[in-house]
Chain A
Amino acid sequence: MGIRGLKNIRDEYDVIVIGAGLGGLTCANMLARRGNTVLLLEHHTLLGGLAAYFRRKKHIFDVALHGFPVGMKKTCRKYWNRDISDRIVPLTGIRFDNPQFQLETDYTKESFIKILIEKFGVPQEAVAEFFEHTRRMNFYDGDNSTTRELFQKFFPGREDVWRLLMEPITYANGSTLDDPAISYGIVFSNFMDKGVYTFRGGTDLLMKMMEEELLKSGVDIRTKVLVEKITMENGRVTGVMANGEHIRTRAVVSNANLKRTVLEMLDEEAVPADFRKQTEKLRVNNSSCQVYIGISENEKIDFIGDLLFTSTAEKFSENLMLDKNVTSRTFSVYYPSIRPEHNRYAIVSSSNARYEDWSGLTEQQYRADKEHLAEDTLDHLEKYVPGIRKKIDHLEVATPLTFKYYTRHIGGASFGTKFEGLEISNRLPERIPGLFFTGSVGIIMSGWLGAANYGVIVSNNVERFLKNSNG
């Protein structure tokens, strides 16, 4: 995708965007639409960042297309185009299966309310109040309570309810019961509200359509270009060093990890000491493991749901969810309807994971651990797809090291940085004039929708900066 390398680039751009994740892509598109010259630099050969896909034999595997909120439809219509938006369709079968409960939902507010009242026996008033409370939560309220306190208040002692309300969010953005209630509330109200949606045609088609739109908007797209440094002069950003070349620009938007951007891409003396300290303390979110399971050409599987949140752990535990001894898995089942012309089934199993558990192993141990994970996953899948081992012709594992390799994120972070990252990202342009961050940050601005919307928000800030610095 795009042009490889830096042949025939301009001498100077209004904006250089580092990284082609959904945040970087959307930001680049908006800035170019408004008439700015934009250079988009991606170190990988493909656009999309974590919104990735890959081909093996006759399979196409989606890495991060389990589902997103309906808001993505509007975001794509406004900041991309109608053809992209029109391909966003709802998933119908979302299942939970764990020792505390088994249930099916279409992931709408109505469905969750019904389940909480009828299946869990929670009083109607408590459910209504919880939904009302989370809907009203506002980032600017300065509420410091934790998600645990929020649950304790509305559903005291009901760990089964906590699990229903928390586990999908922990999968979606790595947040825990100790993260702020405010970030939980905002994500919950967006996510567990009007269903889960997917992109008909798969991630590969989405990226092809986005690339076409970017070219139409006038973005200069370059892949296989690694940005090494952001350069500054007289206290403001002047360009980037990429593939050993210096390219001049008036503003830089980084979609690379926030922490790396501040601590590694800038010269140490360019960053005010207090800001550097603050950024050093910033926590990144966990990483993931995935098992990609390709179903043979002549096999099919019955409809068992689109998204299966499964766990064998007795209770919800964010630590167990991260454990290398995996108990919690989300199975995403891709039926031929996602790529009608392709006519293949695939299953992707995802779990949260710690980078430390997978790094520093011998080559042999690493391979053995991957194989164990793959086999163990098939054992669990057997419950939902009997005879699974006979139906497959491809089995592959991704670990936190894989995610790090492709995205260059610290610790292979799947969901950017923790809550405190938002403040650092917001203050970045004040501290380093001309430098902006977009992409997964602070839990709220995470996932496909959060990253894309943040791209738009940041494009507005960049435009203000460019206008004001024009004098």
Chain B
Amino acid sequence: MSKSQLRSIVTDIIKSIAPDEDLSSLDPEKPLRAQIDLDSMDFLDIVMELRVRYNIDVPEADYPQLNSLASTVNYLMPRMQGV
């Protein structure tokens, strides 16, 4: 899976959790929470959706790695193999 495919997977999930946010101008390097209104529960929703949709388990210790779009993609890349 390519980085851009993975990025659109992640933005799809965010879109489903925060339907009112405009995601088209997200800067992938900047923290998500500095750009859109995501609280810690929204964040948990992202984690839960990753498990439900792609069977990916993100332990709490790894949550900081989901800070920005780019870091999320990097984190998920090796874990998405075979999905």
How many residues on B have C-beta within 8 angstroms of the other chain's C-beta atoms?
A: 11
Give the residues in chain A near B41, CB-CB below 8 Å: 74-75, 78, 453, 456
Q: A34-B52, A453-B41 are in contact. Are A460 and B57 (CB under 8 A)?
A: no
Give the residues in chain A near B39, CB-CB below 8 Å: 71
Contact of B57 with A464 in the complex, beta carbons under 8 Å: yes
- Our pick among A456, A467, A468 for the contact of B44 (Cβ within 8 Å) is A456
Residues of chain B at the chain A interface (Cβ within 8 Å): 17, 39, 41, 44-45, 47-48, 51-52, 57, 59
Name the residue on B nearest A35 (C-beta): B52
Give the residues in chain B near A457, CB-CB below 8 Å: 44
Contact of A78 with B57 in the complex, beta carbons under 8 Å: no
The CA-CA distance from A457 to B52 in the complex, in Å, is 15
Contact of A460 with B52 in the complex, beta carbons under 8 Å: no
The CA-CA distance from A457 to B45 in the complex, in Å, is 9
**Does A463 sit within 8 A of B, measured CB to CB?**
yes
Q: Please indicate which of the listed interface residues A75, A453, A468 has the most CB atoms of chain B within 10 Å of its own CB.
A: A453
Give B32 Cβ to nearest chain A Cβ, in Å: 16
**Chain A 51-75 interface residues, beta-carbon cutoff 8 Å to B:** 71, 74-75
Give the residues in chain B near A460, CB-CB below 8 Å: 44, 47-48
The CA-CA distance from A456 to B17 in the complex, in Å, is 14
**22 examples of A-B residue contacts, CB within 8 angstroms:** A34-B52, A71-B39, A74-B41, A75-B41, A78-B17, A78-B41, A78-B45, A453-B41, A456-B41, A456-B44, A457-B44, A460-B44, A460-B47, A460-B48, A463-B48, A463-B51, A464-B51, A464-B57, A464-B59, A467-B51, A467-B57, A468-B57
Map CB proximity to B onto A457-471 as digits: 1 under 8 Å, 0 otherwise: 100100110011000
Name the residue on B nearest A33 (C-beta): B52
The CA-CA distance from A75 to B41 in the complex, in Å, is 8
Give the residues in chain A near B52, CB-CB below 8 Å: 34
Q: Which 7 A-B pairs have the closest CB atoms?
A: A460-B48, A453-B41, A464-B57, A460-B44, A457-B44, A34-B52, A456-B44
Is chain A's binding surface mostly helix, strand, loop or mixed?
Answer: helix
The CA-CA distance from A456 to B39 in the complex, in Å, is 14
How many residues on A have C-beta within 8 angstroms of the other chain's C-beta atoms?
A: 13
Q: Please indicate which of the listed interface residues B47, B48, B51 has the most CB atoms of chain A within 10 Å of its own CB.
A: B48
Given contacts A75-B41, A456-B44, A467-B57, 5 further A-B contacts (CB under 8 A): A78-B45, A453-B41, A457-B44, A463-B51, A464-B57
Give the residues in chain B near A71, CB-CB below 8 Å: 39
Give the residues in chain A near B57, CB-CB below 8 Å: 464, 467-468
Name the residue on A nearest B60 (C-beta): A461
Name the residue on B nearest A459 (C-beta): B48
Give B26 Cβ to nearest chain A Cβ, in Å: 21
**Chain A 434-471 interface residues, beta-carbon cutoff 8 Å to B:** 453, 456-457, 460, 463-464, 467-468
Name the residue on B nearest A449 (C-beta): B41
The CA-CA distance from A71 to B39 in the complex, in Å, is 10
The CA-CA distance from A460 to B44 in the complex, in Å, is 8
Name the residue on A nearest B41 (C-beta): A453
Give A52 Cβ to nearest chain B Cβ, in Å: 25
Give the residues in chain B near A464, CB-CB below 8 Å: 51, 57, 59
Give the residues in chain B near A467, CB-CB below 8 Å: 51, 57
Give the residues in chain B near A74, CB-CB below 8 Å: 41
Give the residues in chain B near A75, CB-CB below 8 Å: 41
Name the residue on B nearest A78 (C-beta): B45
The CA-CA distance from A468 to B56 in the complex, in Å, is 11
Name the residue on A nearest B59 (C-beta): A464
Give B57 Cβ to nearest chain A Cβ, in Å: 6
Name the residue on B nearest A464 (C-beta): B57
The CA-CA distance from A5 to B82 in the complex, in Å, is 46
Q: Please indicate which of the listed interface residues B41, B47, B51 has the most CB atoms of chain A within 10 Å of its own CB.
A: B41
The CA-CA distance from A456 to B57 in the complex, in Å, is 16
The CA-CA distance from A306 to B83 in the complex, in Å, is 53
Give B81 Cβ to nearest chain A Cβ, in Å: 18
Give the residues in chain A near B17, CB-CB below 8 Å: 78
The CA-CA distance from A34 to B53 in the complex, in Å, is 11
Give the residues in chain A near B51, CB-CB below 8 Å: 463-464, 467
Give the residues in chain B near A456, CB-CB below 8 Å: 41, 44
Give B54 Cβ to nearest chain A Cβ, in Å: 13
Give the residues in chain A near B45, CB-CB below 8 Å: 78
Give A314 Cβ to nearest chain B Cβ, in Å: 39
Give A398 Cβ to nearest chain B Cβ, in Å: 32
The CA-CA distance from A463 to B59 in the complex, in Å, is 12
Name the residue on B nearest A426 (C-beta): B60
Give the residues in chain B near A463, CB-CB below 8 Å: 48, 51
Give A269 Cβ to nearest chain B Cβ, in Å: 30
Give B61 Cβ to nearest chain A Cβ, in Å: 11
The CA-CA distance from A74 to B44 in the complex, in Å, is 14
The CA-CA distance from A456 to B49 in the complex, in Å, is 13
**Chain A 250-268 interface residues, beta-carbon cutoff 8 Å to B:** none
The CA-CA distance from A75 to B17 in the complex, in Å, is 11
Map CB proximity to B onto A216-234 as digits: 1 under 8 Å, 0 otherwise: 0000000000000000000
The CA-CA distance from A34 to B49 in the complex, in Å, is 10
Name the residue on B nearest A452 (C-beta): B41
